[in-house]
């Protein structure tokens, strides 16, 4: 007879712990003596992580046993707050390790991740399934109306109780064992998906050895490709990859259609080559397990489970919202495709527009209609000036300052650290900026951190926040010159950073907000990045220091809705694909590509546009991105950010009253109240969709 899973876990963990007794000199286990308690990256080695993880789990298990076995009657302090304070060491180690797994990984780190993931998953399930602990939590929750708790304490109590219920605390012993097995397998599958994607992304290299094949490419793009080739040992040649800072300029400007096709197909077929890095079986298993988990917990689909904690609440609300945007977006995209085809025909090229042609002809049409292209803008968006602009904006809005610190250890020489202070000089936290691509760094851009703000039991910890990107590298004597998309991306991630830095919530759990609200603080920053008044303050020519000319700003504004059919449609397609995967109530058929084709065919996606993410490289939903049944959140939050920014435009760009309200109710409040309640406190009403449609030219 098979033993219950948790029984096996209880036998296995002590053996693991005995095998990896924590060494006394492990820097992850001792006090961090760097300024502000920053991680000692100059001392941390790969072999320190596993024993630190296991020691962290041991300490938390000991703390949980003390809480669950407390002979005193359960109270908010001895149960809810004590639980929130447990696991400090494990959280510290996990934050650092996960950050390194994304930004500075290695084969050794990936192996540790796969080994630790199921053990850590089992550890958290053991806590969620602890009947004595849950009984104490429920006892406090049941008398919540009689307790003298402030708003934040009430929210922590509610979130803690719901986390246990949604984590399986009310399941039978047999179903708890099933859920634990599912959670462990999912933890490994997500890592495998991302590991395959990283290796697949790094594997493809387009090597050009004939200068004639560079026709159409701007000088800066050619220089960067030559530098990439040199670093890979191909001196005298040019290298392009499927990392976007390399790929997008090639797609925009290369006259070699066959090479554009080769590069783009390498990008859109990642994880789909029926080899050891193929992600189709992995994602199908993830979907299947998510369905099983949701149904064990009493939900029909994973989307029902995930959206319960969102602003949208129901799948129908998400589909309805996306549908309202899809209709005008696809109509606009078809018109854009027709205009590109007209140019192709006018040139006498004799071919039908394909997906690998879109960037090239979009750039040509934009140049023809608005006399504007990315290469005209790049000289005014030198990376350091853009970063300084983001800092300047935060100073103008909130009075905070940023001072570079050279005395903080970093995990890579390219990382720069800034101390963030109030206008009074009071320390707020640290911001780590890591902006350049590396082959051991995941693609895209993100905000993370090594430590959340916390004020529990008189112990104050300030946030340690990271902003990571994959922006174009300096090449030769030319600094990093960003395209317009990279500019808005930097401001976007900086907005996430401000959300973490400026919180005034004491409990990390209460700082968390709904997925479809979390993008508001990031996306609103993009509005300032593109505002003419503010752009004049930070966009300066990297050689002359001259501010961006009014004429260029005018062209940017006039072209702001250009290609929005494409940009909105490719995003919405990915959002709908995500929802289609996660509204399944039965295991998917064994052909992931067929499912994807049917999903995108149902909504009428035209063949000239590929979904922003195909399933096999959709890490937001199948990796560790946390956006399963939630990728729609970006455009849901765009309704919020467009409406919120309008509050500033109705007064002034840096209006202090509006900025103070925004900081209080959006940045500082975390999830202390329902997110719509917080938004209405800031804006005085619910958000309107009109500003978004106007901004995207879809009204």
Catalytic site positions:
493
Which letter, b or e, does each residue of 427-443 get, where b requires 16 or more Cβ atoms within 10 Å of its Cβ? ebbbbbbbbbbbebbbb
Buried b (16+ CB within 10 A) or exposed e, 277-299: bbbbebbbbbbebbbbbbebbeb
Quote the distance between the C-alpha of residue 414 and its chain's center. 21
Give how far the C-alpha of residue 474 lies from the chain's centroid of Cα atoms, to the nearest Å: 25
Helix (H) or strand (E) holding 226: helix 219-231
How far apart, in whole angstroms, are the C-alpha atoms of residue 214 and residue 220?
12
CA separation for the pair 295, 491 (Å, rounded): 40
Rounded CA-CA distance 194/202 in Å is 12
Cα–Cα distance, 85 to 94 (Å, whole number): 15
Alpha helices in 232-370 (DSSP H): 244-253, 257-268, 280-296, 302-307, 315-346, 358-370
Longest dimension (CA), the chain: 85
Q: Is the CB of residue 489 less than 8 Å from the CB of residue 609?
A: no
Residues 6+ apart with CB under 8 A from 570: 609, 610, 611, 612
**Cβ partners under 8 Å of residue 662, min gap 6:** 397, 644, 647, 682
Residue 360 near residue 251 (C-beta atoms within 8 A)? yes
CB 488 within 8 A of CB 526: yes
- Annotate 573-629 with three-state secondary structure: HHHHHHHHHHCCCCCCCCCHHHHHHHHHHHCCCCCCCCCCCCHHHCHHHHCCCCCCC
Closest CA to 482 of 579, 575, 407, 378: 378
Instruction: Find, among 642, 582, 572, 636, the residue nearest to 610 by Cα.
Output: 572
Q: What is the CA radius of gyration of the chain?
A: 26
Count of beta carbons in the 10 Å neighbourhood of residue 339? 15
Q: Which residues on neighbouring strands pair with residue 420, listed in sequence order? A: 402, 429
> Could you give the CA distance from residue 521 to residue 533 in angstroms, rounded to a whole number?
20
Q: How many CA atoms lie within 13 A of 233 on its CB side?
A: 0
């Amino acid at each position: 007879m098979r033993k219950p899973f948790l029984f096996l876990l209880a036998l296995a963990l002590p053996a693991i712990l005995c095998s990896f007794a924590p060494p006394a000199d492990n820097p992850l286990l001792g006090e961090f003596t760097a300024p502000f308690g920053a991680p000692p990256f100059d001392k941390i080695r790969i072999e320190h992580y596993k024993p630190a993880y296991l020691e962290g789990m041991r300490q938390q298990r000991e703390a949980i046993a003390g809480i669950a076995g407390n002979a005193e009657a359960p109270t908010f302090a001895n149960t809810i707050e004590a639980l929130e304070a447990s696991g400090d060491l494990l959280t510290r180690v996990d934050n650092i390790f996960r950050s390194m797994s994304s930004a500075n990984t290695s084969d050794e780190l990936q192996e540790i991740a796969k080994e630790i993931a199921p053990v850590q998953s089992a550890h958290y399930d053991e806590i969620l399934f602890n009947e004595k602990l849950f009984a104490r939590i429920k006892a406090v929750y049941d008398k919540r109306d009689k307790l003298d708790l402030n708003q934040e304490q009430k929210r922590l109590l509610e979130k803690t109780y719901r986390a246990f219920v949604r984590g399986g605390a009310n399941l039978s012993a047999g179903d708890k064992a099933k859920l634990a097995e599912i959670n462990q397998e999912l933890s490994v599958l997500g890592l495998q998906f991302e590991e395959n994607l990283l290796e697949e992304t790094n594997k493809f290299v387009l090597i050009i050895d004939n200068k004639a094949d560079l026709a159409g490419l701007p000088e800066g793009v050619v220089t960067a490709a030559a530098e990439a080739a040199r670093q890979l040992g191909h001196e005298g040649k040019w290298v392009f990859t499927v990392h976007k800072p390399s790929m997008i300029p090639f797609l925009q400007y290369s006259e070699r259609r066959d090479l554009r096709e080769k590069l783009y197909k390498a990008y859109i077929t990642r994880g789909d080559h029926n080899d050891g890095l193929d992600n189709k079986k992995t994602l199908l298993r993830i979907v299947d397990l998510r369905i099983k988990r949701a149904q064990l917990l009493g939900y029909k689909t994973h989307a029902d489970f995930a959206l319960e904690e969102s602003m949208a609440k129901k799948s129908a609300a998400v589909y309805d919202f996306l549908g309202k945007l899809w209709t005008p977006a696809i109509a606009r995209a078809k018109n854009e495709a027709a205009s590109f085809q007209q140019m192709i025909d006018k040139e006498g090229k004799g071919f039908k527009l394909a997906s690998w042609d879109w960037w090239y002809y979009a750039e040509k049409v934009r140049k023809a209609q608005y006399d504007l292209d990315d290469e005209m803008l790049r000289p005014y968006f030198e990376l350091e000036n853009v970063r300084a602009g983001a800092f300047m904006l935060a100073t103008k809005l909130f009075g905070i300052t940023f001072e570079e610190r050279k005395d903080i250890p970093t995990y890579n020489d390219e990382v720069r650290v800034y101390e963030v202070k109030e206008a009074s000089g009071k320390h707020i936290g640290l911001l780590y900026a890591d902006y350049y691509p590396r082959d051991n760094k995941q693609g895209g851009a993100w905000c993370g951190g090594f430590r959340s703000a916390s004020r529990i039991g008189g112990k104050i910890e300030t946030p340690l926040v990271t902003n990571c990107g994959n922006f174009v590298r300096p090449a030769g004597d030319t600094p990093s010159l960003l395209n317009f998309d990279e500019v808005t991306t930097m401001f976007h991630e900086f907005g996430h950073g401000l959300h973490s830095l400026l919180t005034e919530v004491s409990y990390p759990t209460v700082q968390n907000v709904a997925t479809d609200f979390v993008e508001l603080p990031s996306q609103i920053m993009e509005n300032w990045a593109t505002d003419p008044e503010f752009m004049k303050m930070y966009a300066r020519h990297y050689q002359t220091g001259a501010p961006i000319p009014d004429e260029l700003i005018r062209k940017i504004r006039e072209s702001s809705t250009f290609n929005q059919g494409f940009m909105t449609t490719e995003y919405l397609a990915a959002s709908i694909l995500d929802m289609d995967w996660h509204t399944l109530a039965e295991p998917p058929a064994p052909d992931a590509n067929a499912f994807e084709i049917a999903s995108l065919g149902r909504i009428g996606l035209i063949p000239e546009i590929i979904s922003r993410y195909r399933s096999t490289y959709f890490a937001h939903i199948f990796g560790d991105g946390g956006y399963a049944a939630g990728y729609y959140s970006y455009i849901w939050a765009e309704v919020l950010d467009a409406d919120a920014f309008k509050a500033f435009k109705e007064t002034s760009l840096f209006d202090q009253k509006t900025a103070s309200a925004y900081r209080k109710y959006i940045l500082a409040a975390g999830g202390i109240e329902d997110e719509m309640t917080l938004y209405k406190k800031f804006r005085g009403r619910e958000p309107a969709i009109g500003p978004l449609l106007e901004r995207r030219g879809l009204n």
